[in-house]
């Protein structure tokens, strides 16, 4: 095991991804790897020194929406691992679909990554990239695939391609255009680029295997015609690479070592490998030249060295594709395998030499096989290709994270925009009051694994925020549902200052003063005419029971005496008497025993404020399950707006400030609506698991 210590601020908890990275570092899997300071082919990378970054990771969102909490897990994981292992994490946008992408999303995503505490640049590097930076490279690679017989132009309709793709239980059917001559495919593809064919009339498809059990390998499309201006390249292109083709090439061009994604991409890994390996002659030309030299030398090498190569080729013969050259070699390797499996074991050196000769004459046709064979017999990861690893996605109760459903919530007006504090988007969570520290703690606490189907209860997220805010948020007073309290025996014009600590557990944070006067605001539910059993706050005396004394927190003990009502009989004010000798901190503070303390504000020394209470957006634990319309599962009244009062110390509150209001929860000044003189506070997290589960 490596003795490498995690970087400061990173998680000390191990996981399978860390173990993979540690193992690769010990084996030198990605060494020596050159880096010119910018993405490009390895011919360009060789112009630079050996890469100082031990690993290179990336966070690659598509700029077609806002990030949600599931993305936070990926951000923290990729940037966190890069920091821990002295590497770099690239900020890259997979902007291959001009119809759905917008600069608004780019700006929002960058802001969210920064807010979480991560950056893609330092004094040495700025790793900020777009897939569109590589469109020229991708076009050259596509032409290379056509020339090697690994791609073809298909003129079937979308419906025909879908029908001929087959199913999980039946293989697909070859396109009638699959065996077009290379020259014709090149001509048509170039005409596609020149805009000579309408949208939907043809696509460029990879030639993989229409009979594969993995439907993702049934000749997926790699380029389509799209007459749409791109947010960065304008009208330069009218053909655009498909995401599944572009993404692995971006990783290769950026020298990514570990391509980390969620488990839903596991079935795509085979095509990821196909694309990276088939592009080797273009993207890894210097290493490909070394491989060709190795093969030529192998022709005249000792039989022992040839046999080692051939036995590795037999092991990895499943990497051979469907073109004629590969099928010929596959036939020979199958014959060699039969002899190696015979009794006695026989190695056919003549067949072995024939295999080596065929591969050496046309190595560009055999790059997938060579990638694994040379990695086995020469050095690990011979062509320095990225490898994909999958981890479990975040499944959080009481939310939906489908982009389609989130868009519907916004467009149908079911929430107040992408940054609605009830939304699981990062802009929504930030506006609600979640901190980057709490988000990192949450992502660290839930961990990563290869297991699917596990659910994280929403209370875990709330608990992480409480844990962070409990020590960092100062205490303040707000009366959310105000009821007037009149102290009849308190001097009419008197106003005294009550010393109140900013945080009861941290006296070093100091204190502030609250004005105390004859007329106060208290919480409506801190008084009851018909108290339930166990109620300990303000009540009126009855024939059976006297009024119980209650302490006004940090001030005096009071007893309720009578009430004022409106014309409908509703209590609009409670009258009380106070005991002057019971002031908190005085000698007589404990002369009268109380069972409860309630918070208060002076009517003369308080500010009107709007307080917004938020419950979970969905009432069902798993709103994505059961086949129900998610719109029907919205929690009724998940947003409650109160006209409240807050202490005057909040007059200068800033949008980033967070406070614990007495008995209720942690609040943040609303980042969107808050302005001086217009105090708006959002409930970031209740003191208990859910606002409606007190």
Q: Which residues of 238-252 are buried (b: 16+ CB within 10 A; e: fewer)?
A: bbbbbbbbbbbbbbb
Which residues lie below 8 Å from residue 345, measured CB to CB, with a gap of 6+? 339
318 by Cβ neighbours in 10 Å (0-12 / 13-18 / 19+) ranks as: exposed
| Token digits of residue 359 | 């591969």
CB atoms within 10 A of CB 647: 24
**Can you tell me the distance from the alpha carbon of 270 to that of 249, in angstroms, rounded to the nearest whole number?**
14
Q: Please confirm whether the linkage preceding 246 is cis (ω < 30° from 0).
A: no
b/e map of 319-334 (b: 16 or more CB within 10 Å)? bbbbeebbeebbebbe
Residue 359 to residues 182, 299, 363, 433, 518, Cα–Cα distance (Å): 20, 10, 5, 61, 96
- Three-state secondary structure call for residue 169: coil
Describe the strand order of the beta sheet including 658-661 as a list of residue ranges: 474-476, 658-661, 665-669, 680-686, 606-614, 639-647, 478-479
DSSP bridge pairs for 661: 476, 665
Token pair of 331 as six digits: 């036939």
> In angstroms, rounded to a whole number, what is the distance separating the alpha carbons of residues 409 and 422?
11
Give the pairing type, strands 239-241 and 258-262. Answer: unpaired
Q: Of the candidates 169, 252, 158, which has an alpha carbon nearest to the alpha carbon of residue 205? A: 158
Output DSSP code: residue 537: S
Residues acting as catalytic residues:
62, 393, 403
The first and second tokens of residue 16, run together, are 């399978």
Residues 499 and 487: their CA atoms lie apart, in Å, by 20
DSSP bridge pairs for 288: none
Cβ pair 433, 685 in contact under 8 A: yes
DSSP letter string, 273-293: HHHHHHTHHHHTHHHHHHHHH
Identify the helix (H) or strand (E) that includes residue 158: helix 158-164
- Contact criterion met (CB below 8 Å) for 536 and 549: no
- 200 contact partners, CB below 8 Å, separation of at least 6: 157, 158, 225
Could you tell me if 21 and 55 are in contact, meaning their C-beta atoms sit under 8 angstroms apart? yes
Q: How far apart are CA 634 and CA 637, in angstroms?
A: 9
Scanning 599-659, the segments in alpha helix (DSSP H) are none
Token pair for 303: 């039989």
Q: What are phi and psi of 90, to 5 degrees?
A: -85, 140
Strands 557-565 and 550-552, how do they pair? Answer: antiparallel
């Amino acid at each position: 095991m490596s003795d490498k210590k995690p970087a400061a601020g990173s998680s000390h908890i191990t996981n399978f991804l860390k173990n993979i990275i540690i193992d690769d570092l010990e084996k030198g899997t990605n060494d020596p790897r050159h880096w010119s300071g910018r993405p490009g082919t390895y011919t360009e990378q060789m112009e630079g020194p050996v890469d100082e970054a031990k690993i290179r990771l990336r966070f690659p969102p598509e700029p077609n929406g806002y990030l949600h909490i599931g993305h936070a897990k990926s951000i923290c994981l990729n940037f966190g691992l890069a920091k821990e292992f002295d590497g770099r994490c690239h900020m890259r946008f997979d902007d291959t679909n001009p119809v759905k992408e917008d600069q608004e999303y780019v700006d929002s995503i960058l802001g969210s990554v920064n807010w979480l505490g991560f950056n893609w640049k330092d004094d040495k590097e700025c790793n900020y990239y777009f897939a569109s930076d590589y469109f020229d490279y991708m076009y050259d690679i596509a032409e290379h695939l056509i020339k090697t017989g690994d791609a073809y132009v298909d003129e079937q309709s979308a419906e025909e391609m879908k029908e001929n793709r087959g199913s999980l239980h039946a293989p697909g059917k070859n396109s009638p255009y699959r065996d077009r001559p290379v020259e014709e495919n090149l001509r048509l593809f170039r005409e596609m680029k020149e805009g000579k064919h309408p949208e939907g009339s043809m696509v460029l498809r990879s030639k993989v295997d229409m009979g594969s059990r993995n439907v993702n390998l049934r000749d997926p499309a790699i380029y389509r015609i799209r007459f749409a201006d791109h947010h960065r390249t304008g009208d330069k292109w009218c053909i655009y690479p498909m995401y599944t083709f572009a993404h692995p090439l971006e990783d290769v061009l950026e020298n990514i070592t570990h391509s980390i994604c969620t488990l839903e991409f596991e079935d795509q890994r085979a095509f990821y490998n196909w694309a990276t390996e088939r592009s080797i002659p273009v993207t890894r030309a210097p290493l490909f030249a070394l491989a060709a030299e190795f093969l030529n030398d192998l022709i005249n090498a000792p039989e022992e060295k040839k046999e080692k190569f051939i036995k590795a080729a037999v092991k990895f013969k499943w990497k051979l594709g469907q073109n004629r050259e590969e099928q010929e070699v596959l036939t020979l390797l199958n014959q060699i395998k039969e002899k190696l499996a015979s009794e006695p074991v026989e190695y056919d050196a003549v067949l072995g030499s024939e295999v080596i000769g065929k591969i050496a004459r046309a190595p560009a046709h055999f790059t997938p096989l060579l990638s694994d064979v040379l990695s086995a017999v020469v050095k690990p990861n011979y062509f320095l290709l990225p490898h994909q690893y999958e981890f479990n996605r975040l499944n959080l109760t009481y939310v939906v994270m489908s982009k389609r459903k989130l868009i519907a919530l916004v467009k149908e007006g079911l929430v107040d925009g992408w940054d609605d504090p009830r939304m699981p988007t990062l802009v929504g969570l930030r506006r609600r009051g979640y901190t980057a520290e709490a988000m990192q703690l949450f992502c660290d606490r839930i961990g990563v694994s290869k297991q699917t189907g596990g659910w994280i209860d929403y209370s875990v997220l709330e608990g992480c925020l409480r844990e962070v805010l409990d020590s960092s948020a100062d205490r303040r007073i707000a009366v959310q549902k105000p009821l007037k309290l009149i102290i009849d025996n308190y001097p009419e014009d008197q106003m005294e200052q009550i010393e109140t600590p900013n945080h009861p557990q941290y006296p070093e944070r100091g204190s502030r003063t609250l004005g105390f006067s004859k007329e106060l605001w208290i919480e409506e539910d801190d008084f009851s005419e018909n108290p339930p059993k166990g109620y300990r706050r303000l009540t009126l005396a009855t024939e059976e029971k006297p009024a119980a004394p209650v302490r006004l927190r940090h001030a005096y003990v009071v007893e309720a005496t009578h009430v004022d009502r409106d014309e409908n009989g509703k209590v609009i004010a409670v009258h009380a008497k106070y005991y002057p000798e019971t002031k908190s901190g005085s000698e007589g503070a404990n002369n009268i025993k109380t069972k409860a303390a309630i918070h208060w504000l002076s009517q003369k020394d308080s500010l009107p404020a709007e307080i917004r209470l938020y419950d979970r957006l969905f009432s069902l634990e798993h709103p994505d399950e059961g086949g129900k319309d998610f719109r029907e599962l919205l929690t009724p009244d998940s947003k409650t707006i109160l006209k409240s009062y807050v202490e005057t110390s909040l007059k200068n509150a800033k949008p980033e400030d967070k406070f614990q209001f007495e008995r209720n929860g942690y609040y943040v000044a609303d980042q969107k609506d808050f302005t001086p003189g217009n105090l708006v506070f959002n409930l970031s997290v209740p003191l208990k698991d859910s606002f409606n589960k007190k």
